[in-house]
Structure formats: structure tokens, C-alpha cells
């Protein structure tokens, strides 16, 4: 069904017609283009593709001195290219092209107002069924572009209130002690390089990309440390001349604090010291010069969880479990934050520290010492 503001209508002949702004005359009059489809979805897809073609050309919104959002979005994205990591740039580009521009691209800056942004938020949540976290990211990027535009055209951007969606509190999956023991026993049985790396992640709290990029040269048994200085991820190929749509990239960690030195616990040290395949140049997950990428490791983790009868467990569960066990053991929060590679302790507390029922019970029992 057609939604308000889409300019998609059902014609008398039964076809769907989608209208888009093709350009402007010298006087600023709109020149419309039209796409047709047998269904609403077909017409919407065609007009979306046509708009993306025009945005890529970058010159269709030059109608006089009308400050259109699309031109500022494109300029902002170019500005970000040299400032952020490739993964962040690709995320920004996807959000801009797939979510923001289809709604705001053809709007002039003075037209954009709070009710329009509210309508956009509801379209993302209800119309497209996106998660509140995703919608929050989209609105945050939209706000960055607005601020960017306001610096260049201060009189054209209204004072807009952006109402971010409420973030539902979700229960983070953490292995309890019995599940943790079950998984550790499984990983130690018939251990190969992949099982070894998975257990090392549970004992250190490393992220999946960090583990995939880890080589044996990063592990010092003499100093009992693990140096995290790289991460691995599969990204869209930014080289337009290449036939490959994606590629595996090994680069610096996600932030300055993510590059870190992790002291090994006794268990982690014993695990590494006992493992026979320790070729310095080899990747930890394979023991060779060939790497294992994160999505392959995720598939292994799914099988491990299935074999151990662990429901709702994925690789990041290991990181949450490690952080929770550290808190239960009385780990000093600042040290834990640095081991996890967080910028501050707030992130550690809010995202990764999950108090178990056992720990809550022990703390409640302390009240007897003060007469409660």
C-alpha cells in the first residue's frame, strides 16, 4: 500500500506509478521522472534504483540556489571518507543511500521539520520493521548531516528535535557455571586449532575479529601476554574497478583502546604452553599462513553450541561470559575495562557486566552482617 509522501499511486489501468524528482529548470521548477510497475513493490523498487543513479551522479539537484538535503549528504559522506575506518564509512554509506536519501534526498533543507523527522522515524520502525537500535543509528547519522549542512547554510536548517526510539532492555546471554564447564570440556576434547582459539577467547574476552587476526607471534609465553594489534572483517569492496563484491580486510583494531596487551591468566598460559602448533607466523585459528574469517568461525561456534546443547549462544557470548566471571571474581573495574579494550568503564558496566544469580545471592547474604 502506498504511504504518505512516497509519490506512488495506482493508476486507472491497474499499473502503479512512482514519481521522482529528475532535476530542475533554471528557474527552479521541478522536472519529474516516472517509473511504472505491475505491483506497488515493483514500482517502488524501480524508483529507488533510479534515485540512487541520480544521487550517484550528484548534479540532478542543482535547481538554482535551492539547498537540497541530498547534496549535503553526499558532501558529508565525502568528508567522512578520510576520517573514519573503511567499515564505518561503508556503514555510513549504506545508511545514507538505503534509508535516509529515499525519504529526505529530494527535500530542500528549509522544508525539513520535526514532524517530518517523526514521520521518518515511524516509517523506519513500523513501515520497515527495523530494530530500535538500527533506527537510532540512522537518526544519529541524519543528525550529523543536518549539523554539517547547518554550518554551511546556517539560515536554511530549522531547529529540529530528533526523538530517538526507546531502547528495550534485552537480557544478554551469559553462560552459567555449568554451561561454561560443559563447553570447556567439549573444547578440550579432540582439540584442534579452531577449538583452541575458541577456548582462548573465552579465557581472554577477545572479540571475534581480533581472534581471527591473531598470530602466534602475538603470544608471548615469556611475558605471559597476548598483544592485540589487528582485527579481521569482511567488507564491501570499495574498488569500483574490481569484480569482487567483498573482501577480507585485516587492519588496526576498532579503536585506539582496542589495541592492547592482555596479561594471561594461569589457565590461558597453560593452554597456550601445552598447545603443540605454535608457528610464529601462523594464525592461531589455523596454525598456518591461511586465515579463518569471522563468518567461518561463527559457523564452527554454532556447531559447538549445538553439540553442547547451548541455546541462544553465539561467539560474542564468550566475551560477555568472560566479563561476568571477572566481576564475580572481584576484578577491579578499570583493569577489566582495559583488558576488554573499552574506551571507558561505563561501556564495560553497561554492556558487558552481567551479575549472575549466584553473585546476587552472595551479596544479599552479606546483609546479615549489618543486621538485615
Would the pLDDT of 232 be above 60? yes
Q: How confident is the model at residue 358 (pLDDT cuts 50, 70, 90)?
A: low
Q: For the residues 15-26, what does the mean pLDDT come to?
A: 77
Q: How confident is the model at residue 9 (pLDDT cuts 50, 70, 90)?
A: confident
pLDDT computed for residue 68 by the predictor: 83
Are 227 and 261 contacting, i.e. CB atoms less than 8 angstroms apart? Answer: yes
Q: For the residues 269-296, what does the mean pLDDT come to?
A: 90
pLDDT above 70 as % of the chain: 88
d(C-alpha 180, C-alpha 324), whole Å: 12
Would the pLDDT of 257 be above 60? yes
Are 226 and 219 contacting, i.e. CB atoms less than 8 angstroms apart? Answer: yes
pLDDT computed for residue 66 by the predictor: 63
Q: For the residues 168-195, what does the mean pLDDT come to?
A: 90
Q: Are the folds of 8-152 and 177-365 the same?
A: no
Please enumerate in sequence order all residues whose Cβ is within 8 A of that of 293, keeping only pairs 6 or more positions apart, or say none.
212, 232, 234, 248
Provide the residue ranges of all domains of the chain, joining segments of one domain with +: 8-152, 177-365
Which one is the CATH code of 8-152: 1.10.10.10, 1.10.150.130, 1.20.910.10, 3.40.640.10?
1.10.150.130
Place of cell 529548470: 25
Long-range pairs for 268-272 at CB < 8 Å and ≥24 separation? 268/200, 268/203, 268/204, 268/226, 269/221, 269/224, 271/196, 271/199, 271/200, 271/203, 272/200, 272/219, 272/221
Q: How confident is the model at residue 95 (pLDDT cuts 50, 70, 90)?
A: very high
DSSP 3-state of 166: coil
Q: For the residues 287-315, what does the mean pLDDT come to?
A: 94
Give the cell for residue 294. 569471522
Segments in the chain forming alpha helices (H): 40-57, 69-81, 86-95, 101-104, 114-122, 132-152, 177-188, 193-204, 208-213, 266-274, 294-307, 315-328, 333-340, 345-347, 357-365
Q: How confident is the model at residue 27 (pLDDT cuts 50, 70, 90)?
A: low
Does residue 52 or residue 320 have the better pLDDT?
320
Taken in order 271, 277, 283, 285, is the CA torsion positive or negative?
Answer: negative
Q: What is the pLDDT of residues 103-150, one digit of tens each?
A: 898 888 999 999 999 999 999 998 888 999 999 999 999 999 999 999
Q: Are strands 225-228 and 231-236 parallel, antiparallel or unpaired?
A: unpaired
d(C-alpha 335, C-alpha 314), whole Å: 25
Would the pLDDT of 350 be above 80? no
d(C-alpha 57, C-alpha 362), whole Å: 64
Q: Helices 294-307 & 315-328, crossing angle to 10 degrees?
A: 70
The whole-model pTM stands at: 0.71
Q: How confident is the model at residue 179 (pLDDT cuts 50, 70, 90)?
A: very high
Q: How far is CA 11 from CA 16, 30, 45, 218, in A?
A: 6, 22, 17, 65
d(C-alpha 95, C-alpha 126), whole Å: 17
pLDDT computed for residue 253 by the predictor: 81
Please enumerate in sequence order all residues whose Cβ is within 8 A of that of 239, keeping only pairs 6 or more positions apart, or say none.
none
d(C-alpha 284, C-alpha 203), whole Å: 15
Would the pLDDT of 263 be above 80? yes
d(C-alpha 207, C-alpha 211), whole Å: 6
Place of cell 539537484: 61
Q: For the residues 162-171, what does the mean pLDDT come to?
A: 83
* 112: nearest Cα among 53, 161, 74: 161
Q: How confident is the model at residue 343 (pLDDT cuts 50, 70, 90)?
A: confident
Which one is the CATH code of 177-365: 3.30.450.20, 1.10.443.10, 2.40.50.100, 3.30.1490.20?
1.10.443.10
Amino acid at each position: 500500500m502506498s504511504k504518505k509522501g512516497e509519490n506512488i499511486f495506482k493508476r486507472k489501468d491497474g499499473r502503479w506509478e512512482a514519481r521522482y524528482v529528475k532535476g530542475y529548470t533554471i528557474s527552479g521548477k521541478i522536472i519529474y521522472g516516472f517509473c511504472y510497475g505491475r505491483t506497488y513493490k515493483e514500482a517502488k523498487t524501480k524508483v529507488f534504483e533510479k534515485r540512487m543513479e541520480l544521487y550517484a551522479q550528484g548534479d540532478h539537484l542543482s535547481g538554482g540556489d535551492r539547498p537540497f538535503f541530498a547534496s549535503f549528504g553526499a558532501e558529508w559522506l565525502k568528508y567522512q571518507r578520510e576520517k573514519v575506518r573503511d567499515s564505518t564509512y561503508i556503514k555510513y554509506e549504506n545508511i545514507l543511500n538505503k534509508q535516509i536519501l529515499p525519504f529526505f534526498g529530494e527535500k530542500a533543507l528549509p522544508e525539513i521539520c520535526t514532524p517530518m523527522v517523526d514521520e521518518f522515524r515511524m516509517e523506519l520502525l513500523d513501515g520497515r520493521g527495523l530494530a530500535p537500535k538500527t533506527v537510532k543509528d540512522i537518526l544519529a547519522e541524519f543528525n550529523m548531516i543536518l549539523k554539517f549542512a547547518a554550518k554551511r547554510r546556517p539560515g536554511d536548517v530549522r531547529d529540529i528535535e530528533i526523538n530517538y526510539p526507546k531502547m528495550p532492555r534485552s537480557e544478554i546471554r551469559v553462560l552459567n557455571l555449568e554451561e561454561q564447564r560443559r563447553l570447556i570440556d567439549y573444547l578440550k576434547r579432540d582439540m584442534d586449532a579452531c577449538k583452541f582459539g575458541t577456548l582462548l577467547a573465552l579465557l581472554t574476552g577477545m572479540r571475534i575479529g581480533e581472534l581471527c587476526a591473531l598470530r602466534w607471534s602475538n603470544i608471548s609465553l615469556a611475558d605471559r601476554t597476548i598483544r592485540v594489534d589487528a582485527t579481521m572483517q569482511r567488507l564491501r569492496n570499495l574498488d569500483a574497478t574490481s569484480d569482487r563484491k567483498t573482501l577480507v580486510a585485516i587492519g588496526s583494531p576498532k579503536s585506539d583502546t582496542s589495541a592492547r596487551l592482555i596479561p594471561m591468566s594461569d589457565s590461558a598460559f597453560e593452554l597456550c604452553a601445552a598447545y603443540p602448533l605454535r608457528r610464529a607466523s601462523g594464525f592461531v585459528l589455523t596454525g598456518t599462513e591461511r586465515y579463518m574469517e569471522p563468518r567461518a568461525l561463527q559457523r564452527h561456534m554454532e556447531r559447538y553450541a549445538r553439540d553442547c546443547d547451548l541455546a541462544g549462544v553465539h561467539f560474542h557470548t564468550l566475551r560477555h561470559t568472560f566479563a561476568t566471571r571477572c566481576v564475580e571474581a572481584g576484578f577491579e573495574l578499570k583493569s577489566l575495562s582495559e583488558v576488554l579494550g573499552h574506551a571507558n568503564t561505563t561501556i564495560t558496566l553497561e554492556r558487558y557486566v552481567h551479575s549472575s544469580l549466584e553473585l546476587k545471592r552472595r551479596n544479599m547474604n552479606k546483609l546479615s552482617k549489618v543486621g538485615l
